[in-house]
Amino acid sequence: MSKYLKKLVSGYLSDRLEGVEEALLVNVVGLSANQTVVLRKQLRDKNIQLMVVKNSMAKRATEGTPLGHAFEEAEGALAIIWGHEDIVSLAKEVDRYSRDADFTGFRARGGVMDGETLTAERVREISSWPSREEQLSILVGQILSPGAELSAQLIGPGGALASQVEQKSKEES
């Protein structure tokens, strides 16, 4: 490949990955063409991008960016995957597809999150974390819990008093 062509390809990759700070590297070797088409469509429907890249071109394109760490020790054929709500949701999707019998060969190989290089084992660990949506629901529950408890404590004695007053009024009648 000529230097000019390499420069064009790395420029295209750089433009395509502009603004992407967290991504995962996945293995797609072993998937048939039909499986790859189905996989890409399912991922696109979930707002997840998948791009097969050549390591040397990806290293050149991501040099000096947060994604540069992911390609430092990358070897062999791989693809980069990014998008979805957050990196945890993305890791969950990758883990789900890696266990799917229809996509044997698809598996996580690493990635980058918050500037930290991830291993395949770390990606599997991250996939067990609660997603952003789950974390928000936990936080809302924790915020509302003291108020609900206080409300119950204030209403409880008032309800008991009202019940006693009602019973006394029935006794007198």
pLDDT of residue 94: 92
Judge whether residue 97 has pLDDT over 80: yes
pLDDT of residue 48: 92
Place domain 3-129 in its CATH homologous superfamily.
Ribosomal protein L10, N-terminal RNA-binding domain (3.30.70.1730)
Tens of pLDDT, residue by residue over 138-156, are 888 888 888 778 777 778 7
pLDDT of residue 167: 84
DSSP 9: H
pLDDT of residue 173: 63
pTM: predicted TM-score of the whole model, two decimal places: 0.72
Sorted by where each begins, the domain ranges of the chain are 3-129, 130-173
Judge whether residue 14 has pLDDT over 80: yes
Summarize the confidence of residues 56-61 as an average pLDDT. Answer: 84
Residues 6+ apart with CB under 8 A from 109: 25, 26, 27, 74, 78, 120
Dist. CA 42–CA 115, nearest whole Å: 28
